[in-house]
Amino acid sequence: MTINFDGIASDTAGSNEFFQDFFFDASKSGEAGYLASVVTSDSVALYDDNGDGLPDRFISSWTESGVLKIQSGTITIGEDGFFTIIATVGDSFTATGRLAYDSSGDIVGLYMQDNMTINTTGTVDGTPQSGENYYKFHTSDGLLAQAGENWFRLDLSGDTDNNPSTFTANWNWLDADGQIRQTETDVMTFERYRSIETGP
């Protein structure tokens, strides 16, 4: 298998996938193992450290609030072309997907699974705008995540549709003792902030 930077994928992304095209970044060509970069809002470079012609490591960098952020990790690709990405430096995440091939069988990019995971151990960066508050997700028994303060609480749980970006959201309004006095249930949809990642 080889990478075709000018190739066109011979199939299309599934309902829970998004396509990331490969391109060659000449500024990285001198870096050991550099193979390709991925078209995203960040700089994402893929490296082949074992010489098999497939990416097995990534480095992603972006600027957030004027600070350079770097994330890196491993890529494991099976014989069937499906892969798992695990971040080992920076915010932790795991992503899955499959290689995208052209009609000749050359690799042209990645189909990333649009799975959403909620980080309950990270930190909140930045400063809220006027009239805003930041609430950090944390774990809670029986829920995917929870956030809130003295007078309200957001409980997130899985839903039953086939969209991995949506969750059941219970907005709980609390009384002075922290007991629920009213609950509104709706669907919360997340969007990707950095496209190599699968969720916030």
pLDDT tens for 103-121 read 999 999 998 886 666 777 7
For residue 168, what are the β-bridge partners?
Answer: 157, 187
Domain limits, the chain: 17-113, 135-200
- Higher per-residue confidence, 54 vs 119: 54
pLDDT (average), residues 87-102: 83
CA distance linking residue 154 with residue 134, whole number of Å: 13
Whole-prediction pTM value? 0.59
Closest CA relative to residue 163, chosen from 137, 183, 190, 130? 190
pLDDT tens for 10-37 read 888 877 788 889 999 999 999 999 999 9
Residue 190: CB atoms within 10 A of its CB come to 17
SS3 annotation, 151-194 = CEEEEEECCCCCCCCEEEEEEEEECCCCCEEEEEEEEEECCCCC
What length is written for the chain? 200
pLDDT tens for 133-153 read 888 888 888 888 899 988 899
